Amino acid sequence: MNEAIIKSPVLGEQYTQIKHPSGLTVLLCPMSGFSSAYALFAAKVGSIDTTFKTPGEDDFVEVPPGIAHFLEHKMFENEEGDAFQKYAATGASANAYTSFDRTAYLFSCSDNFPQAMEILLDFVSRPYFTPESVQKEQGIIGQEIQMYDDSPSWQTMVGLLESLYHNNPVRLDIAGTVESISEITADLLYRCYHTFYNLSNMVLAVAGSFDPQVVLDLCDKILKPQEEVEIQWRRADEPREVAAHRKAKALSVSVPMFQIGFKGEAGDTLQNLKAQVMDEILLEILCGESSPLYRRLYDQGLINATFEYEVLAGRDYLVPMYGGESRDPDAVYDAICREAERLCKEGIPADAFDWCRKATYGRYVGMYSRVDAVASLLVLTHFSGLENMYELLDLVRDLTLEDLTDRLGRDFQPRYSAVSIVEPV
């Protein structure tokens, strides 16, 4: 068992990185002063992974959109019942999520940590699918898809990604469609499970109040050694230009909702993580709460307290974006594009860069004081290829004004932008 202690001289904190004999990477970060523990068992597979192959296969396998999300739902069931019922007996709070490039199973608890951890390792390592249970789940997820079809906030996001991308599967709904999930079978689920839930393609991260030896003993007890699987993903043939600059849909809302995004030039996961850090600072400089443009739009009544920004980044996709409510989303879009052009021409003010970089650094430091955020950072940085999670602080600290200026000129261009609007019926 390979073990390394990772320390942060800045924070005075540390965690342990272990390569378990099963092939699983285990990241353990006990945190003093906390009464709860938070665990994430994650696989590097998400909704974009619809075309892949492994050694020995002549051609790529294509699976229906939505299968990663479908698989996440089905993992909680086995011959003995539902894992949520077992968690309820321990008092732990359990959940799971599927994103565009990741699937994670998680729990948090203040008591009965060994029991909760055993449940997590056990149900994720024991798939159980039957034609009957798959058919039942198709009906359940079909209703979930229809529910999201009527969700204004989700539809603005879907509309933005459909506008920015031509072929990248990130433009497809994470849950798929009613038609695509109807093609999912038990055999396909087993095929995806044995490919992507290979322990070498997964990571277990635990933070907070717990005994690391308990985790390692349970890994020894439950996880069987697996031969590492080399997965080859097929990248979409995606042009640099956007598919459309504007997309609108009518739903039951009282005020129009919008998402404005820029199609970043995506690299590998490590490059995208570095770009994400820069884009977060650029979004604050461009139209964050401290910017002149934010104050102007707010005073004009074009944005309100719902206005916010985030960066959607992962394998083969990168989208810095703003969202919120506005009586005139097109005016907000136009103002942001014009401000980006102005900053490209006149340059980013040095004081704005310095303030926003320090604010971002402080926000990142604050994340290391929350058990859920630490576990999530461990997973994010591991899958992104950083040597350790503390390097994230170094990325922010070492940024220069020249770095941000170059990034602004490459990706924050109106021709690489789009707006998605949900209008009142």
Instruction: Kindly compute the dihedral angle of the four CA atoms of residues 15, 20, 26, 30, in this order, to the nearest 10 degrees.
Output: -40
User: What is the C-alpha to C-alpha distance for residues 277 and 264, in angstroms, rounded to an integer?
Assistant: 13
341 noted as active-site residue: no
Query: Is residue 185 within 8 Å of 61, Cβ to Cβ?
Result: no
Say which of 13, 57, 72, 402 is annotated catalytic: 72
Q: Distance between CA atoms of 413 and 322, rounded to whole angstroms? A: 15
Using CB atoms within 10 Å of the CB of residue 328, give its burial: 0 to 12 exposed, 13 to 18 middle, 19+ buried: middle
The pair phi, psi for residue 28, each rounded to 5°, is -120, 120
Residue 280 burial (10 A CB sphere; 0-12, 13-18, 19+): buried
Sign of the Cα pseudo-torsion (168, 174, 178, 183, in order): positive
Which tokens is 38 given? 């938070």
**Rounded-to-integer distance, Cα 380 and Cα 362, Å:** 19
Residue environment code for 239-272, b if the CB has 16+ CB neighbours within 10 A, otherwise e: eeebbeeebeeeeebeebbbbbbbbbebeebeeb
Q: Which residue is associated with the tokens 């020249």?
A: 402
Point out the residues that are catalytic. 72
